Amino acid sequence: MTAQTFQRARRPEQKLRRQDAILSAARELALRDGVRDVSLADIAARVGVHKSALLRYFETREQIFLELTAEAWLDWAKALHAGLAGAEGSADLVADVFARGFGERPLLCDLIAHTPLNLERNVSPEAVRRYKLTSLGMVDQAAALVHGVIPGLTGAECREFVATLASLAGSLWQIANPPPALAELYASDPALGQACVDLTPRLRRTAQILLAGLIPSRPAGNPAGRPLATTGGGGVTEREGAGYG
């Protein structure tokens, strides 16, 4: 798209097309170079306009990537539904579907790591609110799918599992995908062989451990995993465990 074709949108449908073009450019660059290395100027150059023109459609660079993160959560949730909805399986099935769901979505994993560190910190509160409603909604959907396969877990435990694995996926993806110079270093030095991990198998194993430990780790006196009462002083509630998003 060139500066000549990227004219200022006058109608709502034109604005949507412009936004889609910007998001597509940012997505392509992030997949190629990593979220960290993509600037607003890079996105503008890809679209074919000055970066000031992008600010007519998005508040900041961070809002562009926050929108992409919300889209990526929706796509991830669809994959979980395909793998788990109506399934009669086991913890191993849940672990495998979740591990592949993250492992096959490198952009989501990259964005997860940047969301609390950067993306939510340079946008308006309303932009964060819109994003959180999407991401937390997808966490809730994923937790419901886990509960459908493993009904012995409570809703809070299912959300805790989903939120924890999502956070780990963001961190482990960064470790599994070092920059070329570090990848070469790790490959050349046997002493550093464990510095890089294979993302999907590591997530699968971690998911299995988390699922196996949720019921045995319930507080003494609460073997059924019932929601614990609160007095407004910070006790545990059924809603806890949905902290990621």
Give the start-to-end residue ranges of the domains of the chain.
1-58, 61-245
**CATH class for domain 61-245?**
mainly alpha
Rg (CA), the chain: 21
pLDDT at 88 over 90: no
Within 13 Å, how many C-alpha atoms sit on residue 176's CB side? 19
pLDDT (0 to 100) of residue 4: 43
**Fold category of 1-58 in CATH:** Arc Repressor Mutant, subunit A (1.10.10)
Confidence of residue 145 (pLDDT cuts 50, 70, 90): very high
User: Are domains 1-58 and 61-245 of this chain identical in fold?
Assistant: no
- Residue 225: band (very low, low, confident or very high) from pLDDT cuts 50, 70, 90: low
Give mean pLDDT, residues 178-196.
91
User: Is 50 exceeded by the pLDDT of residue 233?
Assistant: no
The whole-number pLDDT of residue 235 equals: 35
Q: According to the model, what pLDDT value does residue 86 have?
A: 83
**pTM (predicted TM-score):** 0.86
pLDDT of residue 85: 87
